[in-house]
Structure 1
Amino acid sequence: MGARKMTDLMINQSVMLLDGWAGKLTWDLYLEALEVDIGHRYTKAAMLRHPRIKDAWDHAKERCRDSDRNMAAKPPEVALMHTRNSELEQRVERLTRENQRLLEQFVRWAHNASRRGVSLEELERPLPYVKTKELS
C-alpha cells in the first residue's frame, strides 16, 4: 500500500513548519519533524511534487543559511526576536508569492472561460447547495 495522498491541510502544515524553522535544515530533520506533526513519513521526492512545499523549502534553506551567518554574536533575547521577526517576514513573502500565483491562475482561467463563451453571470453563479447526510 502506498503513502497517503497529502491533503491541503497537510501541505499547509508542511509549509508552516518550514516558515518557523530555525537552525540547521536538512531533509532528514525536516521529514522527521513533519512526521511528528502529520503522523506519516513522506519522502523528499513526494514533498518536492508540491510546488508550495518546494518553494517554502527553497526559501527556508536560504533563510537558515543567512541566519547562521548573522546570529553568531547576538545576545539570546535579540536573537529570539530576530528569529520571530524573520519567521513572520518569510511567511508574508511566501503568502505574497502564493497569492501572486493564484492571481495569475485566475486571469488565465478568466481568459480561457471568455474564449469558450462562458459569461460573467455564469462564472459568478453561486455553488449549488448539497445536503449532506447527518451522522447519527
Structure 2
Amino acid sequence: MKKTRAPDLTEERIKVVIDILDGWTGKLTWDLLLDAVEEASGVRYSRFTFAEYAEIANAFSLKKDALRGTWKGEPSQPRDERVRAALEQAARYKAKVERLEKENQLLLEQFVTWATNAERKGVTMAMLNAPLPKPERDRTKRVK
C-alpha cells in the first residue's frame, strides 16, 4: 500500500506547528513534535518537511535551546483548573515573546548584512529608504 503524501504546509499549518512549539514543555524531539502535530491536525509530516521551513526550524531550535538543561519532569500543577489554564497560557505567551524577540534579532542582523552589501554596490541608504511609487487605483487603464 502506497503512503499518501501529507498536504503542503500553508501559513495556517505552519502557525499551528509554531503554536505547538510555543506551548511546549518537557523533552522536545522532532519525533515528539511530529506526534503532537499529527494529534492536533490529523496529518503526519516528516522531520525533513519541517526542516525545510525556516520558521519551523528556527522555532524548534530556539525552543530546544530554551528547554536545554531545564527539564526535570513536570512541575507540580495547581489543583484549580482555571489557574492551571491561565499559567499554561502565560507560559505559551512568554515562550512566543522569547521566540519572536530572537527572530527579530535575526532579522535585524539580516538587514544590517543587506544594507552593508547594498552600500558596497553603490546603493545608498537614501535610495533604499525612498518611498515606493503609489499604485494607480483611480485610473482604469485602457488598452488601445
TM-score, normalised to structure 2, is 0.65
Which SS does the other structure have where 2:132 is aligned? coil
Q: Confirm or deny: 8 A CA contact 1:20 1:87 kept in the other structure.
A: yes
Distance in 2 (CA, whole Å) between partners of 1:44 and 1:27 is 9
- CA–CA separation in structure 1 for the residues paired with 2:34 and 2:131: 45
**2:51 match:** 48
Matched, 1:99 2:104: yes
Distance, in Å, in 2 between the alignment partners of 1:29 and 1:105 is 33
Root mean square deviation, CA, Å? 3.5
Tell me, in whole angstroms, the C-alpha distance in 2 between the residues paired with 1:124 and 1:104.
18
Q: CA deviation at 1:81?
A: 2.3
Q: Is the 8 A contact 1:18 1:57 kept in 2?
A: yes
For residues 34 and 127 of structure 1, what CA distance do their matches in structure 2 show? Answer: 42
Question: SS of the residue aligned with 1:69?
Answer: coil
Counterpart for residue 27 of structure 1: 33
Q: Which residue of 1 aligns with 2:121?
A: 116
Gaps of 5+ in 2: 138-144
Q: Could you tell me the TM-score, scaled by structure 1's length?
A: 0.68
Structure 1 unaligned blocks of 5 or more: none
SS at match of 2:74: helix
The structure with the largest alpha-carbon Rg is: 2
The count of residues paired between Structure 1 and Structure 2 equals 127
Give, in angstroms, the shift of residue 116 of structure 1: 0.5
- Cα offset, 1:5, TM superposition: 5.1
